[in-house]
Structure 1
Amino acid sequence: MTSASITELNDRARDVFRVVVDSYLATGAPIGSRTIAQLSGLNLSPASIRNVMQDLEELGLLAAPHTSAGRMPTDSGLRLFVDGMMQALEPSAEERAAIERQIEQAGPVEQAIAATTAALSGLSACAGMVMVAKRDLVLRQMSFVTLSADKALAVLVGDDGSVENRVIDIPLGLPPSALIEAGNYMSAMLGGLTLVEARAKLEREMADERAALDGAARTLIERGLAIWSEDADRRPVLIVRGQARLIDDTAAADLERVRELLDDLEGKQEIARLLDSASAGDATRIFIGAENKLFSLSGSSVITKPFRGLDGRVVGVVGVIGPTRLNYARVVPMVDYTAATLARLMG
């Protein structure tokens, strides 16, 4: 069974095919020839429509869930519709404002990204997701708090107001004064620097013996900077919002599909790989159903769009995950607009 191109369909086949797809995107259910004849205004008899639908099925564009049902588009049929027949709808002023509003909020960049992703999820009725490269954190202040004889909590405040905590190992018998000294030194001498710059400056001052630190405080600072640098290099920031929106009335009738989809979303490492693969080039990419191995079992669609910083480099990818029957004409431009908004935020 091979899939056709749009040029292979005559006008009658295109009209019937569009009605089937529009009905499926609206309801998630198959539609029969009699219903099409009654509702579509095509001026075709049910028998003529059945013949056309049979031809479309042989081309791999439609399928019948079971023998007594009508027809619904296959993944190949949806791909043909999206690539050759869909007319995109620009986001409304209200939708654009809802997305734009998030970048005006004060606070850490990751908070604004999360809010923008949540807004996209709400507007698209899908799960929103965004992956960005870990930004170079600029230090403002750092302190250490003893947790136990061999553990301390390192608290780092970034220049953007973000606060992060890490548990680090400390030597047994370390005096409390060493923790205070280490925190004071980092805040006074390394404030305003990125992690990379802070480590380089510390190494220079130690090499020149200009760092007025005892050995214990020096060890704390080195361990604190090392663990943050390792975390920053290990993985990009991945935010997924709105998983609950994937459980609509249609999905509730297929709980196994929903379970598969939510399990897929929990595997964030796999999502990160998918988004990373979508970062090449500038075009919006649409994965429909089995076209994407990650979500093939749950029969979901993924729409992604990379966005760039001021230097022209790709700094992240934004997208949505939803059922194959999502409103592509509306959601694709919405993802595009969100990508442009995040590009300004990250610029």
Structure 2
Amino acid sequence: MSQTPINELNDRTRTIFRMVVESYLDSGTPVGSRTISKFAGLNLSPASIRNVMQDLEEAGLLAAPHTSAGRMPTETGLRLFVDGMMQAAEPSAEERRAIESQITGDGPIEEALAAATSALSGLSACAGVVLVPKRDAVLKAFSFARLSATQVLAIMVGTDNSVENRVVSIDPAVSDSALVEASNYISARLSGLTLSEALSRLDSEIRAEKAELDNASEKLVRAGLVVWSLDANDRPVLIVRGQSNLIDEAAAADLDRVRQLLDELESKEEIARLVDSAREAQSTRIFIGSENNLFSLSGSSVIAAPYREAGGKVVGVVGVIGPTRLNYARIVPMVDFTAQALSRLMK
């Protein structure tokens, strides 16, 4: 169904439509004509309001879940409201402090991103999501520790003092001295380089016969660097926080939808692709219900905004996932503020 342009609705119809949507987003329940008639300044009878609501239903902007129930906005109606009628409210000073207090330059960047996402999730009562920038780790130190005849533990320390371990398979003939030689070579010759830079220098020094490594040690160095490079490309880049916020009193009557949404949240790769599609947006992007295939079954909405590094390049996306009855006017600016705060962190 094509969307009805906002300028095709007369003033009375626009007013009633806005009141229905705002009341529904506030209560999460269908809105009746008698409820709308009680709003100050409307001066219309319930019968007149019912006629307008019927017209809005025929236009595909409202729907009645039951014959005797009130109306609620359709996804088309929500899109019309969000794009043409919503009056966004700036985050309060308390909300801004709650987000900014979690964003510090101390420790790994992933910790700050996760903390900011948790704060955003708590304030919005949604699940918070953030795409972590894909960045090559910068080597500070590297060592190998033997686990068995055929396996060693590759231990990498980054310049941000993060420590991570990966298991690497080796030939049983590799000696302990080869492990030491490979560890010393990486720490001494490749420290301060990204993984891709380290592999490039290793190749250059081997071609120039400057590597001073025997064959076994050379293979170890390469295996250690490669396992990290492949892992950096394959590791999950999406952090999800606050799924429990989706199970509240309002969701009790719609548990099937909540279960479906929680199942969908387990598909991080799919969510990452969806959230990443907001990368090209200048500010906040909103996906409502079936506008994205991933959440079409649960009828959920996604609000996401990109954040940037010092040069203005988009390096990630932050946002929230929740039911379509979100308080868009409050949450959209909150997501946008979080993206701006993360951009300041990246600089």
CA contact (8 A) 1:141 1:158 kept: yes
Greater mean deviation of Cα atoms: 304-313 or 293-302? 304-313
35-44 or 128-137: bigger deviation: 35-44
Aligned to 2:227: 227
Q: Which moved more, 1:205-214 or 1:329-338?
A: 205-214
CA–CA distance in structure 2, aligned partners of residues 252 and 146 of structure 1: 53
Measured after TM superposition, the shift of residue 85 of structure 1 is 0.9
Q: Distance in 1 between matches of 2:105 and 2:343?
A: 16
Residues 236-289 of structure 1 show CA distances to partners (whole Å, capped at 9, x for unaligned) of 721111111111212222111111111111111111211222212413211111
Q: Which runs of 4+ in 1 moved over 6 A?
A: none
Rounded to whole Å, the distance in 2 between the matches of 1:103 and 1:201 is: 35
Retained in 2: the 8 A contact 1:127–1:240?
yes
Over 3 Å counting, the alpha-carbon distance change for 1:118 and 1:194 in structure 2 is same
Pairing of 1:47-58 with structure 2 (within 5 A): 47-58=47-58
Deviation at 1:216, TM superposition (A): 2.0
- 1:131–1:236 CA contact under 8 A, matched in 2: no
Give the aligned partner of residue 192 of structure 2.
192
**What's the counterpart of residue 292 of structure 1?**
292
Distance 1:175-1:218 versus aligned 2 partners, 3 A rule: same
Pairing of 1:195-206 with structure 2 (within 5 A) = 195-206=195-206
Q: Which residue of 2 aligns with 1:334?
A: 334
Q: Is the 8 A contact 1:61 1:74 kept in 2?
A: yes
In structure 2, what is the equivalent of residue 132 of structure 1? 132
- How many residues align? The count is 347
Deviation of 1:41 (Å): 4.9
- Is the aligned partner of 1:19 residue 2:19? yes
- Deviation of 1:314 after TM superposition, in Å, equals 1.6
SS at match of 2:178: helix
Any conservation in 2 of the 1:134–1:236 contact (CA below 8 Å)? no
More off after superposition, 142-151 vs 82-91: 142-151
Contact kept in structure 2, 1:2 and 1:59, CA below 8 Å: no
Q: Under a length normalisation based on structure 2, what TM-score does the superposition of the two structures give?
A: 0.95
Of stretches 248-257 and 288-297 in structure 1, the one that deviates more from structure 2 is 248-257
Farther off after superposition, 56-65 or 138-147? 138-147
SS in 2 for 1:209: coil
Contact 1:289 1:301 in 2 (8 A): yes
Distance in 2, matches of 1:180 and 1:203, equals 20
1:343 shift after superposition: 1.4
Q: Which range is displaced more, 324-333 or 6-15?
A: 6-15
Q: 1:44 corresponds to which letter in structure 2?
A: L
Distance 2:247 2:345 in 1: 31
2:294 is paired with a residue whose SS is helix
User: TM-score if structure 1 supplies the norm length?
Assistant: 0.95
Partner of 1:155: 155
Residue matched to 2:216: 216
Q: Does 1:180 align with 2:186?
A: no
- 173-182 or 136-145: which moved more? 173-182
For residues 327 and 205 of structure 2, what CA distance do their matches in structure 1 show? Answer: 59
Return 80-89 or 145-154, whichever deviates more.
145-154
Asked whether the 8 Å contact 1:127–1:245 carries over to 2, the reply is yes
For 1:104, what is the secondary structure of its paired residue?
coil
1:297 is displaced (CA, Å) by 0.5
- 8 Å CA contact 2:283, 2:336 repeated in 1: no
1:281 to 1:105, Cα distance in 2 relative to 1, 3 A: closer
Correspondence list, 1:254-269, <5 A: 254-269=254-269
Q: Deviations over 1:40-86 (max 9, x none)?
A: 55222111111111011111111000111111111111111111111
One-letter amino acid matched to 2:4: A
The whole-number CA distance in structure 2 between the counterparts of 1:38 and 1:102 is: 43
- The whole-number CA distance in structure 1 between the counterparts of 2:251 and 2:322 is 11
CA distance in 2, matches of 1:40, 1:167: 68
Give the AA of the match of 2:162. Answer: S
Compute the displacement of 1:199 (Å). 1.3
Assess if the C-alpha contact under 8 Å between 1:288 and 1:300 holds in 2: yes
Partner of 2:251: 251
Q: What is the CA distance between 1:307 and its match in structure 2?
A: 2.2
Identity of aligned residues (%): 67
Kept in 2, the 8 Å contact 1:37–1:44? The answer is yes
Q: CA RMSD in A?
A: 1.7
- CA–CA distance in structure 2, aligned partners of residues 29 and 289 of structure 1: 17
Whether the 8 Å contact between 2:110 and 2:132 is mirrored in structure 1 is: no
Secondary structure of the structure 2 residue equivalent to 1:297? coil
Mind listing any 5+ residue stretches in structure 1 that lack a counterpart?
Answer: none
Residues in 2 aligned to 1:95 and 1:105: alpha-carbon distance in whole angstroms: 20
Q: 1:15 to 1:149 in 2, by over 3 A?
A: same
Q: Deviations over 1:120-177 (max 9, x none)?
A: 1111111111113311211111111222221111111110111111111111132222
Aligned position for 1:87: 87
Which 10-residue stretch deviates more, 286-295 or 227-236? 227-236
Amino acid at match of 1:197: E
Aligned position for 1:277: 277
